Homo-oligomer: A and B are copies of this chain.
Amino acid sequence: MVPRAKYRTRQREILLAYLETVPGVHITAGDVCAYFRQQGVPIGQSTVYRQLESLVDEGVINKYIVDSSSPACFEYVGAESHEDAEVCFHCKCEKCGKLIHLHCEELDGIQAHLLAEHQFRLNPLRTVFYGLCEDCCREMQSSGTGASL
């Protein structure tokens, strides 16, 4: 795990500023590097990786790992993670990439259960349920791909 950022460096601000312009969008570290390179903004890739990891650590962005042979995706969620009011869960469709925000008491119960029975203090802000959304689920059934997970 990477330590939290302690300085506001130029690179961090630029990176953050960029991420804020694409909330809810999933981009890879490579995407970010490519974007800056194309824009002529000089930021080293190791800095990108390090800062992204820091931001994940701080809960400003989410990190999604979908497939072992594809890069991790990052997503700006800053606003949500800072307000402590409504905790919401995320469901991410593995097929279309759609991200669904869920408010649900039943799911909140998971938190209590994990704590009581498994001594695990869940952090909902960073937990993402992966699976298939309604649309993709239907689409998959009709297309006969008997992949019923």
Contacts and interface: CB of A to CB of B under 8 A. Distances in A.
A137 B97 CA distance: 33
A100 B117 CA distance: 13
A106 interface: yes
A37 interface: no
Interface in A38-61: 57
A79 interface: no
Interface string A108-120: 0010011001111
Contacts of A65: 65-68, 126
13 contacts: A65-B65, A65-B66, A65-B67, A65-B126, A68-B71, A91-B122, A94-B126, A104-B117, A119-B137, A121-B137, A122-B129, A127-B129, A127-B131
Nearest to A95: B1
Contacts of A106: 113, 117
Given A102-B118, A120-B133, A122-B129, 4 more contacts: A100-B118, A104-B118, A107-B113, A110-B129
